[in-house]
Each structure stands twice: as structure tokens, then as C-alpha cells.
Amino acid sequence: MERTGAGGTNSNECENVSRKREMSEEFEANTVDSLVDLPFATIDIIDDCGITDVPHINLERSKENEWNNKDKIKKRKKKQKDDQPNYFLSIPITNKEITKGIKILQNAIIQQDQRLAKAMSSDGSFHITLLVMQLLNEDEINIGIDALLELKPFVEEILQGKTLTLPFEGVDTFGNQVGFVKLAEGDHINPLLEIADAAKRTFQEKGILAGESRTFKPHLTFMKLSKAPWLRKKGVKKIDPKFYEKFISHRFGEEMVHRIDLCSMLKKKQSNGYYHCESSIVIGDKNGGEPDDAELVRLSKRLVENAVLKAVQQYLEETQNKNKPGDGSSVKTEEADRNGTDSDNNRK
């Protein structure tokens, strides 16, 4: 028997305390892991713990409840996976002054904690995410490309021939988990928000699952702890504000928006470090309004892929039609008709 004295703790109480502590740590871990390595920083965080302490009066009922809870967790995880975005609209950051300033910021943080090197965004991938969406196959990707092309006149109407310039100043974090360079306040905010809203409306009208439940907050991500989950085991659970305090008011530079890209989160990145791009629209008068070499390559590749895809689909449809029940009899009937006609001709 176990004895509980004054001020003492029995084994069941110890077990409950230990269990609650483990659940708390698991919840915190899952919170960080939910910030997956994707181009957008804020996604819905789901508590995967689910299973709570239950009375030990009825072991069978306890086990039944535990299985039910596990089943609910699996369903929630499946729903989260099914709704997971895999494409996004990107405004690429190409101003070398901005990218150079971000590299200086990243190096300054790494010098204070070298373990954070793996949490940094890679060169060439800096961008602002306008919209996230889910495109599951080539047909949906083509619909997404059409939506992007339809977005261009809306963007031109919003800008009214003016150049959209985005100034970046200062540093902040999302929950001390995602570090980003802030977009400074100014007259550029409203047109950018209008473009984001027009993009969401255009893609949703095409039947595409697009947009987040949270309010759009434009930002330029430079690091994510979720890029290196093992950091938690090393004791790195948050981005220490002291690491970037010297950059709180730093002016990184201005980006002139000249392009909006439809990018994949999962496909292999380009050789320059930027995301795989399905299509783009050019904003403003860059290169005299003509597409650049990279855009021409993307368009040519897309045309070839579409042609090959259509040829394969046509071949499969023809093959399936030939193999349909009843087709053989119709062929035989046609052959019999031809033979009968030939015999009649011979008799004549």
C-alpha cells in the first residue's frame, strides 16, 4: 500500500502532475511545428494534444474515451492537411539594398547564436505573400494562371498608372517564432491591401480555395524557427529580441513592385533560390512593358507542358473509347456492312 502523509504526495498525484507537464510541453512543441516551412507565417494552430486526464474509476470507459479522442485528433490532422495551401501569389524582393541589409541582419543574429543559421530564409527567396491557395492538379494550376491574368487589369485600375513603392523599415516577430522586416506605414498600404483583396476575390470566383481567415498583414520574412525543429531540443524555443534590437528602426530600402508571381511552395526552387514559378504578370513599365527573359522561358515551358498534357489526355480518351463495351460489336457491324456491299457489287 501507498501512504500519504501530511504535506506528502502519492504516486497518482505525481503521475497526474507529470502527465500535465508533458502535455504542456507537447502543446508548446506542436504550436511551433504548426508554423511549417512555408512562405506564409501565420496559419491556424491546432492543439494536437487532445487527450486529457480522465478518472480511473472505469478503465474500459477511460480507454474508450482515449480512442475517441485519438480518432478526433486524426480527423483534425487530416482536415488540416487537406486544407493546406501549396501555392501562393508572391511579390519578389529584388532590390539589392534590401537583400544586402537582410543578410547583414541575419549574420548579426547568427553571430550571437550560430544554431540559428538553419532558421534563416535562403538567398533569392525574399518576397511578400499576397495570397495563399490550394491547387491540387494541372487543371487547377491552369485555372490559377487564368485567374492571375485576369487580376492584371484590376491591379492597373487600382494603381492608375502610378508606381507602387514599398519601403521597409524595422524588425518584428510573430510570437517570437517568425522574424520579419516590417513594411513602413504610408500611402502605399491602401493600394497594396486593395490588390490583395482583388486577388482573393478573383481566385475565389474561379472556384479556387484561396485566402486565410486572418487579416492580411504584409511582411518580409527573414527567419523561422520551424525551419529547424531540432532547435527546440537544443533549448531554442523563441527568437530573443536582443538578437535584432539594433535593427528595430533600421531602414532597409524601397522595393518598386514590378511583378506578381504564382509560385509553388513544394516544387523544387529555381537555381537563384526563388520559388518555382508557374506564371507572372508584369506591373508598371519595366522593360517597356515587355516580359523579361525569365518570364519568356516560363511562358514557353508552360505552353509545351500544356501541349503535352492535352496530347496525353486525348490519347487516353481515344484508348478508353476503343475499349468501351459494345465498341467491338459496332466495329464488326461496320465490317459486315462493308462486306455485304462488296458482295453486292461483285454480283452486279
Q: Give tens-digit pLDDT for 53-73.
A: 444 445 566 666 666 666 665
Three cell numbers, residue 9: 504526495
pLDDT in tens, 195-248: 999 999 999 999 999 987 778 899 999 999 999 999 999 999 999 999 999 999
Residue 186 Cα distances to 89, 171, 195, angstroms: 22, 17, 16
Question: Is residue 7 predicted with pLDDT exceeding 90?
Answer: no
pLDDT confidence of residue 295: 54
Three cell numbers, residue 286: 519595366
Three cell numbers, residue 272: 537563384
Three cell numbers, residue 275: 520559388
Q: pTM higher than 0.75, yes or no?
A: no
pLDDT confidence of residue 211: 87
Question: Is residue 112 predicted with pLDDT exceeding 90?
Answer: yes
Taking residues 309-324, report their average pLDDT: 73
pLDDT confidence of residue 1: 46
3-state secondary structure of 173: strand
Cβ contact 282:258 at 8 Å: yes
Q: In what order do the strands lie in the sheet with 178-183?
A: 219-224, 178-183, 165-174, 251-256
pLDDT in tens, 240-268: 999 999 999 999 999 999 999 999 999 99
pLDDT confidence of residue 321: 75
Taking residues 96-125, report their average pLDDT: 95
Three cell numbers, residue 221: 520574412
